[in-house]
Amino acid sequence: MGLRIIIAYLIMGGAILFAVITAVGLIRFPDVYTRIHASAVVLTISAVLLSIGVAIYVWQFYLSIKILLVGLIFLITNPLATHAIARASYRRKIAIPQVKSIDEYSGYLSRDQE
């Protein structure tokens, strides 16, 4: 139980904390888009912290690099999926935002149809 293990556990604990926050936010937030914002927390912060923590915990060169590569692939693929879900659910009118203060996107879409 060295100092390295303790640091790894601390980093992984922070990741778990953010994951719990995400789960609570997914239940509490009102509509699709705000829930996507809640899930972005787990996608960026939690995944990266967890992969760094596991890489420190394992502490072998090739294994650690491999785990960091997995974290990098998370970072590359997540915004694509998030953006695709949000855009499709707006354009196909699956879920129009319920809670909104301003909506400049609908004007852009109707301009295209003219």
Partner 1 sequence: MRRKIATFTIILIVWIILTGKITMDILIVGIIVSLITTFLYSDLLFRKSNRKKSWIYHLKQLFYIILFIPVFFYEAFIAALKVSRHVFEKEPSFTPGIIKVKTKLTNVTALTILANLITLTPGTLTLDFDMRERAFFIHWIDVTTLQQAEARKETIERFENWLEVIFQ
Summarize as ranges the residues that interact with partner 1 (CB under 8 A). 18, 21, 24-25, 28-30, 33-34, 36-38, 40-41, 43-45, 48, 62-63, 65-66, 69, 75-76, 78-80, 82-83, 86-87, 90, 97, 99-105, 108
| For partner 1, the closer CB: 9 or 78 | 78
CB closer to partner 1 out of 8 and 43: 43
The DSSP element (H or E) to which 13 belongs, if any, is helix 3-28
- As a whole number of angstroms, the distance between CA 111 and CA 23 comes to 38
- Taking the complex as a whole, the smallest distance from the CB of residue 104 to partner 1 amounts, in Å, to 4
CA triple 53-57-58, angle to 5 deg = 120
Phi/psi at 96 (nearest 5 deg)?
-85, 135
